[in-house]
Amino acid sequence: DAGVTQSPTHLIKTRGQQVTLRCSPISGHKSVSWYQQVLGQGPQFIFQYYEKEERGRGNFPDRFSARQFPNYSSELNVNALLLGDSALYLCASSGESGSSQETQYFGPGTRLLVL
Amino acid sequence: LAKTTQPISMDSYEGQEVNITCSHNNIATNDYITWYQQFPSQGPRFIIQGYKTKVTNEVASLFIPADRKSSTLSLPRVSLSDTAVYYCLVGPFSGGYNKLIFGAGTRLAVHP
């Protein structure tokens, strides 16, 4: 079975631009979460979506937004990019209830570089 | 949310058992303890999860004392491929919300 997939794998943008990252969860999973991982640090929670509704939001500015589609795939959008947005963006999916006791399965991430 | 403290780095040799201890003094009654492994430029991979006492699976064991204020991940007979960052997470058991709080993790280096 395919795991969590993310696209693109790498991306280079300049300051002020906008970027959209995509995630496809494991088949049957209804919850998708997004994390930002800056080099040398642990992942930081950005959003969780379950059944197309936002379940949680981390401490990130409004420049960050996300949505989940009827097929449970998800997009993370970042506007007005800053140099500090350079990071590995990780998507994780979990099973039917989206609750914390469920294992989250992470994708390989999208490496974003902002110049 | 309970904060976790774990060593920044550890070194070991192939074939040895590695124990990584995580402190979580403020763990709540409904919190679970979960460990993830991460290789460079990859997403974290679930290793093991537990609530109390001992949990064992095919790759690791997790020891949790009665007061649950700490936990120890045990990796038996490590190999070079176990070189990675290991994260200890303590998360709420509330339904419908699965925010994971990662710390800086423990960088394990396994030497030949």
Contacts of A107 (CB under 8 A, 6+ apart): A3, A4, A5, A6, A23, A90, A91, A92, A93, B43
| Minimum Cα–Cα distance from B91: chain A residue | A100
| A39's tokens | 């080099």
Task: Report the share of chain A in percent with pLDDT over 90.
Answer: 70
Q: Please report the pLDDT score of residue A98 as a whole number.
A: 53
Residue that the structure tokens 């763990």 belong to: B27
Q: Report B:23-52 residues touching A (Cβ under 8 A).
A: 32, 41-46, 49
Q: Please report the pLDDT score of residue A40 as a whole number.
A: 86
* Residues of chain A contacting residue B98, judged by C-beta atoms under 8 Å apart: 31, 33, 48, 55-56, 94, 98-100, 102, 104
Mean pLDDT of chain A: 91
What distance in Å separates the CA atoms of residue B84 and residue A49, rounded to the nearest whole number?
Answer: 29
Digit-coded pLDDT (tens) for A41-93: 889 989 999 888 998 888 999 999 999 999 999 999 999 999 999 999 999 99
- Cα dihedral A54, A58, A63, A66 sign: negative
What distance in Å separates the CA atoms of residue B112 and residue A41, rounded to the nearest whole number?
Answer: 27
What distance in Å separates the CA atoms of residue A100 and residue A31, rounded to the nearest whole number?
Answer: 11
Digit-coded pLDDT (tens) for B4-27: 899 999 999 999 999 999 999 988
Q: Please report the pLDDT score of residue B2 as a whole number.
A: 62
